[in-house]
Amino acid sequence: MSAAVIDGKAFAERLRERVAEAVPAFASRAGRKPGLAVVLVGDDPASRVYVRSKGKATLAAGMASFEHCLAEATGQAELVDLVQSLNRDDRVDGILVQLPLPRHIDDKAVIGVIDPAKDVDGFHVENAGRLAVGEEALVPCTPLGCIMLLKDRLGDLSGLEAVVVGRSNIVGKPMAQLLIRENCTVTTAHSRTRDLPAVVRRGDIVVAAAGRAEMIKGDWLKPGATVIDVGINRIAGKLVGDVDFESAAATAGAITPVPGGVGPMTIAVLLRNTLTAAHARAGLPAPEGL
């Protein structure tokens, strides 16, 4: 193995500390803590774990946490009512509706009623549009976390060839937008891409977000590439990424492991987005260095 391993866990811990350090200054100026509301519908075990850890991380950062766990049978109208009441609640700066929602609920309709100023997941079309046209926006946590790791590793990303594998609204598309904002030359590959290995081989940066276990092999990579593996796949009780770590680490210059790479960044950036939203809502300048 020659690649440096990018320690997302350590970076995420530092980010969480920086957020926590900025909370008291906000609280003294705004007269309240920043607050994050997380809404869970149903009892998907993975979602329960995520919601619990988001609540704990929120409290650990010194923020207020509001958890709403609703029964699987909750109707869409009731969920929309709850989101609207959170929109009106001044203690709440960020609203996160945990996905996936049960099948009888249209997640787009629910996300569409979140106040864009409180949309800390960055999934509302207003925030997606703002990102696309290069305006200030709340940006989805996972891709923003990937950009932070890339800039920490590479510094200026200008002019680099970046290949994003995956075009979801949650990861692939905002990732590509963020890389364009950093002046990369961006290719977005997806399930219909022809000759994916040849496309991936162009990348000085490769971001893998396809949800296909260990699909990207070492001989698909440009030597020295920086590889960010967003994938979380469970095989035989073990978590693996979308990149075949062993072969990739022999070719790449740097690579994120799974677990311990991108995963921990998501919650850290969620706290960062909540703090940013709180400042904007209170009419305060954005916290520096976050």
Catalytic residues: 54, 98, 121
Q: Using the rule CB under 6 A, which residue among 35, 122, 257, 263 binds ligand NAD?
A: 263
Q: Using the rule CB under 6 A, which residue among 35, 172, 218, 257 binds ligand NAD?
A: 172
147: left (phi over 0), alpha (psi -120 to 50) or beta: alpha
Residue 209 near residue 261 (C-beta atoms within 8 A): no
Residue 243 near residue 214 (C-beta atoms within 8 A): yes
What number of residues does the chain have? 290
| Bond into 100 cis (ω within 30) | yes
Residue 191 binds ligand NAD (CB under 6 A): yes
CA distance linking residue 201 with residue 190, whole number of Å: 15
Count of helix runs (H) and strand runs (E) in the chain: 10, 11
As measured in angstroms, the least distance from the Cβ of 130 to ligand NAD is 20
Q: Where are the alpha helices (DSSP H) in 172-215?
A: 172-181, 196-200
As measured in angstroms, the least distance from the Cβ of 169 to ligand NAD is 8
Residue 177 binds ligand NAD (CB under 6 A): no
**Per-residue binder mask for ligand NAD (CB under 6 A), 134-153, x = binder:** --------x-----------
Nearer to ligand NAD, 88 or 192 (CB): 192
Residue 206 binds ligand NAD (CB under 6 A): no
Judged by CB under 6 A, the chain residues 208 through 247 that form the site for ligand NAD are 209-212, 230-233
Nearer to ligand NAD, 9 or 281 (CB): 9
CA distance linking residue 51 with residue 140, whole number of Å: 17
Nearer to ligand NAD, 149 or 254 (CB): 149
As measured in angstroms, the least distance from the Cβ of 207 to ligand NAD is 10
CA distance linking residue 83 with residue 54, whole number of Å: 18
What backbone torsions phi and psi does residue 131 show, to the nearest 5 degrees?
Answer: -60, -45
Residues of the shown chain interacting with ligand NAD in the complex, contacts defined by CB under 6 A: 142, 165-168, 170-172, 189-191, 193, 196, 209-212, 230-233, 262-263, 266
